[in-house]
Amino acid sequence: MELNIRYPSNPVDAMTYTTEELREEYLIEKVFEKDKVLLTYSHFDRIIAGGIMPVDKTLELEGGKEIAADYFLERRELGIINIGGEGIVNVDGTEYKMASRDGLYVGMGAKKVSFSAVDKKNPPLFYINSATAHKTYPNRHITIADANPRPLGSVETCNKRTIYQYLHPAVMQTCQLCMGLTHLEPGSNWNTMPSHTHERRMEVYLYFDIPENNVVFHMMGQPQETRHIVMLNHQAVISPSWSIHSGVGTSNYTFIWGMVGENQEFDDMDNIKTTDLR
Protein backbone atom coordinates (compact mmCIF):
# COMPACT_ATOMS: atom_id res chain seq x y z
CA MET A 1 0.00 0.00 0.00
CA GLU A 2 1.39 3.38 -1.04
CA LEU A 3 0.21 6.45 0.89
CA ASN A 4 1.02 9.95 -0.33
CA ILE A 5 0.57 12.84 2.13
CA ARG A 6 -0.82 16.24 1.10
CA TYR A 7 -0.96 19.21 3.46
CA PRO A 8 -3.57 22.01 3.51
CA SER A 9 -3.03 25.18 1.51
CA ASN A 10 -4.10 28.76 2.12
CA PRO A 11 -6.30 30.34 -0.60
CA VAL A 12 -4.08 33.45 -0.57
CA ASP A 13 -1.02 31.31 -1.24
CA ALA A 14 -2.84 29.41 -3.97
CA MET A 15 -3.24 32.67 -5.93
CA THR A 16 0.50 32.60 -6.62
CA TYR A 17 0.84 28.96 -7.67
CA THR A 18 2.15 28.09 -11.10
CA THR A 19 0.45 25.39 -13.16
CA GLU A 20 2.99 22.86 -11.89
CA GLU A 21 2.44 23.91 -8.26
CA LEU A 22 -1.36 23.66 -8.62
CA ARG A 23 -0.97 20.15 -9.94
CA GLU A 24 1.45 19.16 -7.17
CA GLU A 25 -0.91 20.46 -4.47
CA TYR A 26 -4.30 19.27 -5.71
CA LEU A 27 -4.04 16.74 -8.56
CA ILE A 28 -3.88 13.01 -7.83
CA GLU A 29 -2.30 12.06 -11.12
CA LYS A 30 -2.21 8.26 -10.81
CA VAL A 31 -5.16 6.59 -9.13
CA PHE A 32 -5.03 3.04 -10.53
CA GLU A 33 -2.07 0.75 -11.12
CA LYS A 34 -2.07 -3.02 -11.63
CA ASP A 35 -1.94 -4.98 -8.37
CA LYS A 36 -1.38 -1.88 -6.25
CA VAL A 37 -3.19 0.16 -3.61
CA LEU A 38 -2.47 3.84 -4.32
CA LEU A 39 -3.81 6.24 -1.69
CA THR A 40 -3.54 9.96 -0.94
CA TYR A 41 -4.02 11.30 2.59
CA SER A 42 -5.16 14.92 2.49
CA HIS A 43 -5.02 16.99 5.66
CA PHE A 44 -8.12 18.82 4.40
CA ASP A 45 -10.53 17.10 6.81
CA ARG A 46 -8.19 14.08 6.80
CA ILE A 47 -9.81 12.35 3.86
CA ILE A 48 -8.05 9.41 2.21
CA ALA A 49 -8.76 8.88 -1.48
CA GLY A 50 -7.33 6.44 -3.96
CA GLY A 51 -7.59 3.42 -6.20
CA ILE A 52 -7.25 -0.34 -5.85
CA MET A 53 -6.74 -2.48 -8.97
CA PRO A 54 -6.42 -6.19 -8.22
CA VAL A 55 -5.48 -8.33 -11.22
CA ASP A 56 -3.22 -11.25 -10.28
CA LYS A 57 -3.19 -10.54 -6.54
CA THR A 58 -5.64 -10.05 -3.69
CA LEU A 59 -4.98 -6.61 -2.22
CA GLU A 60 -5.66 -5.38 1.31
CA LEU A 61 -6.04 -2.07 3.12
CA GLU A 62 -3.44 -1.83 5.86
CA GLY A 63 -2.90 0.07 9.07
CA GLY A 64 0.50 1.22 10.24
CA LYS A 65 2.49 4.18 11.42
CA GLU A 66 1.31 6.60 8.72
CA ILE A 67 -2.28 6.45 9.95
CA ALA A 68 -1.32 5.48 13.52
CA ALA A 69 -3.70 2.52 13.54
CA ASP A 70 -3.34 -1.23 13.92
CA TYR A 71 -5.76 -1.70 11.03
CA PHE A 72 -7.05 0.71 8.38
CA LEU A 73 -10.60 1.14 9.71
CA GLU A 74 -9.71 1.28 13.40
CA ARG A 75 -10.96 4.89 13.52
CA ARG A 76 -12.27 5.32 9.99
CA GLU A 77 -15.24 4.57 7.73
CA LEU A 78 -14.92 3.63 4.07
CA GLY A 79 -16.78 4.19 0.81
CA ILE A 80 -16.06 2.17 -2.35
CA ILE A 81 -17.36 2.51 -5.92
CA ASN A 82 -16.25 0.10 -8.63
CA ILE A 83 -15.81 1.58 -12.12
CA GLY A 84 -14.17 -1.44 -13.75
CA GLY A 85 -14.97 -5.10 -14.28
CA GLU A 86 -16.60 -7.33 -11.68
CA GLY A 87 -14.69 -7.72 -8.44
CA ILE A 88 -15.03 -8.96 -4.89
CA VAL A 89 -14.58 -7.04 -1.66
CA ASN A 90 -14.14 -9.24 1.41
CA VAL A 91 -14.92 -7.58 4.76
CA ASP A 92 -13.96 -9.74 7.73
CA GLY A 93 -15.01 -12.89 5.87
CA THR A 94 -18.16 -11.55 4.19
CA GLU A 95 -17.88 -11.31 0.40
CA TYR A 96 -19.54 -8.58 -1.64
CA LYS A 97 -19.65 -9.08 -5.41
CA MET A 98 -19.19 -5.70 -7.00
CA ALA A 99 -20.35 -5.06 -10.56
CA SER A 100 -19.42 -1.86 -12.37
CA ARG A 101 -21.06 1.16 -10.69
CA ASP A 102 -21.72 -0.82 -7.49
CA GLY A 103 -20.92 0.90 -4.20
CA LEU A 104 -20.11 -0.39 -0.74
CA TYR A 105 -20.04 1.25 2.68
CA VAL A 106 -17.81 -0.32 5.35
CA GLY A 107 -18.21 0.92 8.89
CA MET A 108 -15.56 1.70 11.46
CA GLY A 109 -14.01 -1.34 13.12
CA ALA A 110 -13.80 -3.75 10.22
CA LYS A 111 -10.38 -5.36 10.64
CA LYS A 112 -9.70 -6.94 7.27
CA VAL A 113 -10.82 -5.49 3.93
CA SER A 114 -9.47 -7.18 0.80
CA PHE A 115 -10.06 -6.75 -2.93
CA SER A 116 -9.86 -9.28 -5.77
CA ALA A 117 -10.80 -9.65 -9.42
CA VAL A 118 -13.32 -12.06 -10.92
CA ASP A 119 -11.74 -11.91 -14.40
CA LYS A 120 -8.19 -10.62 -14.55
CA LYS A 121 -8.68 -9.76 -18.24
CA ASN A 122 -11.34 -7.27 -17.13
CA PRO A 123 -10.19 -6.21 -13.66
CA PRO A 124 -12.19 -4.09 -11.24
CA LEU A 125 -11.20 -0.50 -10.51
CA PHE A 126 -12.14 0.14 -6.90
CA TYR A 127 -12.15 3.85 -6.08
CA ILE A 128 -12.24 4.58 -2.35
CA ASN A 129 -12.80 7.47 0.01
CA SER A 130 -12.25 7.15 3.75
CA ALA A 131 -13.03 9.58 6.58
CA THR A 132 -12.43 9.61 10.30
CA ALA A 133 -15.36 8.14 12.23
CA HIS A 134 -16.81 8.16 15.74
CA LYS A 135 -19.42 5.41 15.47
CA THR A 136 -19.91 2.13 13.65
CA TYR A 137 -22.71 1.99 11.10
CA PRO A 138 -23.69 -1.24 9.29
CA ASN A 139 -21.91 -2.28 6.11
CA ARG A 140 -24.08 -1.88 3.03
CA HIS A 141 -23.82 -2.90 -0.63
CA ILE A 142 -25.40 -0.22 -2.85
CA THR A 143 -26.09 -0.73 -6.55
CA ILE A 144 -26.72 2.25 -8.79
CA ALA A 145 -30.41 1.25 -8.68
CA ASP A 146 -30.30 1.66 -4.87
CA ALA A 147 -28.75 5.13 -5.11
CA ASN A 148 -30.89 8.27 -4.90
CA PRO A 149 -31.02 9.95 -8.35
CA ARG A 150 -31.25 13.74 -8.67
CA PRO A 151 -31.65 14.93 -12.29
CA LEU A 152 -30.30 18.45 -12.80
CA GLY A 153 -29.41 20.88 -15.59
CA SER A 154 -30.55 21.00 -19.20
CA VAL A 155 -29.28 20.48 -22.73
CA GLU A 156 -29.66 24.23 -23.36
CA THR A 157 -27.12 25.04 -20.62
CA CYS A 158 -24.80 22.12 -21.53
CA ASN A 159 -25.13 20.53 -18.09
CA LYS A 160 -27.89 17.91 -18.22
CA ARG A 161 -26.81 15.33 -15.67
CA THR A 162 -27.95 12.92 -12.99
CA ILE A 163 -26.43 12.88 -9.53
CA TYR A 164 -26.57 9.43 -7.94
CA GLN A 165 -26.26 9.68 -4.16
CA TYR A 166 -24.81 6.47 -2.69
CA LEU A 167 -23.42 7.30 0.76
CA HIS A 168 -25.87 10.01 1.70
CA PRO A 169 -28.63 10.63 4.28
CA ALA A 170 -31.20 10.06 1.51
CA VAL A 171 -29.96 6.46 1.28
CA MET A 172 -28.16 5.52 4.50
CA GLN A 173 -26.39 6.81 7.60
CA THR A 174 -22.65 7.38 7.86
CA CYS A 175 -20.56 9.35 10.32
CA GLN A 176 -19.50 12.11 7.91
CA LEU A 177 -18.55 10.61 4.55
CA CYS A 178 -20.82 11.34 1.59
CA MET A 179 -20.14 9.79 -1.78
CA GLY A 180 -21.81 9.45 -5.14
CA LEU A 181 -21.54 9.46 -8.89
CA THR A 182 -22.62 12.07 -11.45
CA HIS A 183 -23.17 11.19 -15.10
CA LEU A 184 -23.35 13.85 -17.82
CA GLU A 185 -25.63 13.22 -20.79
CA PRO A 186 -24.22 13.32 -24.36
CA GLY A 187 -24.00 16.92 -25.53
CA SER A 188 -23.39 18.20 -22.01
CA ASN A 189 -19.97 19.12 -20.69
CA TRP A 190 -20.39 21.24 -17.53
CA ASN A 191 -20.85 19.22 -14.37
CA THR A 192 -21.74 22.25 -12.20
CA MET A 193 -22.69 25.70 -13.38
CA PRO A 194 -23.51 28.00 -11.69
CA SER A 195 -20.70 26.98 -9.39
CA HIS A 196 -20.62 27.09 -5.61
CA THR A 197 -18.48 26.63 -2.54
CA HIS A 198 -19.28 24.98 0.80
CA GLU A 199 -17.18 26.18 3.70
CA ARG A 200 -18.35 23.36 5.94
CA ARG A 201 -16.93 20.48 3.91
CA MET A 202 -14.26 19.65 1.36
CA GLU A 203 -14.50 17.37 -1.63
CA VAL A 204 -12.46 15.06 -3.85
CA TYR A 205 -13.40 14.32 -7.48
CA LEU A 206 -12.44 11.35 -9.64
CA TYR A 207 -13.03 11.99 -13.35
CA PHE A 208 -13.60 9.00 -15.63
CA ASP A 209 -15.42 7.93 -18.82
CA ILE A 210 -13.36 10.63 -20.56
CA PRO A 211 -12.93 9.45 -24.17
CA GLU A 212 -9.44 9.03 -25.59
CA ASN A 213 -7.80 12.32 -26.68
CA ASN A 214 -10.25 14.34 -24.55
CA VAL A 215 -9.72 16.21 -21.28
CA VAL A 216 -11.63 17.92 -18.51
CA PHE A 217 -10.74 21.42 -17.34
CA HIS A 218 -11.31 21.30 -13.58
CA MET A 219 -12.13 24.81 -12.37
CA MET A 220 -10.94 25.72 -8.87
CA GLY A 221 -9.92 28.65 -6.67
CA GLN A 222 -11.86 31.35 -4.90
CA PRO A 223 -14.76 32.77 -6.95
CA GLN A 224 -12.90 36.01 -7.67
CA GLU A 225 -9.54 34.28 -8.25
CA THR A 226 -10.19 31.18 -10.33
CA ARG A 227 -7.67 28.68 -11.67
CA HIS A 228 -7.91 25.44 -13.62
CA ILE A 229 -6.24 22.04 -13.82
CA VAL A 230 -6.34 20.00 -17.04
CA MET A 231 -7.25 16.43 -16.16
CA LEU A 232 -7.14 13.10 -17.96
CA ASN A 233 -9.23 9.96 -17.55
CA HIS A 234 -8.93 8.27 -14.13
CA GLN A 235 -7.37 11.25 -12.38
CA ALA A 236 -8.62 12.79 -9.13
CA VAL A 237 -8.43 16.25 -7.64
CA ILE A 238 -8.60 17.64 -4.10
CA SER A 239 -11.07 20.50 -3.67
CA PRO A 240 -10.69 22.63 -0.50
CA SER A 241 -13.80 24.10 1.13
CA TRP A 242 -12.88 27.60 -0.06
CA SER A 243 -12.65 26.57 -3.70
CA ILE A 244 -15.20 26.35 -6.47
CA HIS A 245 -15.27 22.87 -8.00
CA SER A 246 -16.65 22.63 -11.47
CA GLY A 247 -15.51 21.00 -14.65
CA VAL A 248 -15.96 21.44 -18.38
CA GLY A 249 -14.95 18.65 -20.73
CA THR A 250 -14.19 18.42 -24.40
CA SER A 251 -16.76 15.60 -24.26
CA ASN A 252 -19.30 14.42 -21.73
CA TYR A 253 -17.88 12.38 -18.84
CA THR A 254 -18.67 10.89 -15.44
CA PHE A 255 -17.19 11.62 -12.05
CA ILE A 256 -17.28 10.36 -8.48
CA TRP A 257 -17.53 12.92 -5.71
CA GLY A 258 -16.71 12.36 -2.07
CA MET A 259 -17.38 14.92 0.68
CA VAL A 260 -16.08 15.11 4.23
CA GLY A 261 -16.70 17.79 6.82
CA GLU A 262 -19.02 19.30 9.36
CA ASN A 263 -22.37 18.28 7.90
CA GLN A 264 -24.01 16.21 5.18
CA GLU A 265 -26.64 18.65 3.92
CA PHE A 266 -26.54 18.52 0.12
CA ASP A 267 -28.02 22.01 -0.23
CA ASP A 268 -25.67 23.63 2.32
CA MET A 269 -23.71 25.57 -0.26
CA ASP A 270 -22.93 29.16 -1.20
CA ASN A 271 -24.03 29.67 -4.78
CA ILE A 272 -22.10 32.03 -7.03
CA LYS A 273 -23.59 33.99 -9.89
CA THR A 274 -21.76 32.92 -13.03
CA THR A 275 -21.13 36.50 -14.15
CA ASP A 276 -19.48 37.22 -10.76
CA LEU A 277 -16.69 34.72 -11.39
CA ARG A 278 -13.27 36.15 -12.12
Domain boundaries, the chain: 2-276
Looking at residue 76, its pLDDT comes to 98
* pLDDT greater at residue 261 or residue 114: 114
Predicted pLDDT of residue 125: 98
Summarised one tens digit per residue, pLDDT across range 92-103 is 999 999 999 999
**Contact, 31 vs 234, CB < 8 A?**
yes
CATH number of 2-276: 2.60.120.10
Per-residue model confidence (pLDDT) at position 270: 84
Confidence check: pLDDT of 200 > 90: no
Task: List, for residues 2-58, the tens digit of each pLDDT value.
Answer: 999 999 999 999 999 999 999 999 999 999 999 999 999 999 999 999 999 999 999
The pLDDT, as a whole number, for residue 92 is: 98
Say whether pLDDT at 138 is over 90. Answer: yes
- Summary mean pLDDT of the chain: 96
**Of 121-130, 225-234, 263-272, which gets the smallest average pLDDT?**
263-272
pLDDT at 199: 85
* pLDDT greater than 90 at residue 140: yes
> Which whole number is the average pLDDT over 224-243?
97
pLDDT value at 266 more than 90: no
pLDDT of residue 271: 85
Instruction: Report residue 262's pLDDT band, with 50, 70 and 90 as the boundaries.
Output: confident
Distance CA 134, CA 125 (A): 28
Percentage with pLDDT > 70 across the chain:
100
| pLDDT for residue 168 | 96
Determine the pLDDT at residue 195: 87
What is the reported pLDDT for 263?
A: 78
Identify residue 167 by its one-letter amino acid code. L
> For residue range 84-94, what is the model confidence (pLDDT) as tens digits?
999 999 999 99
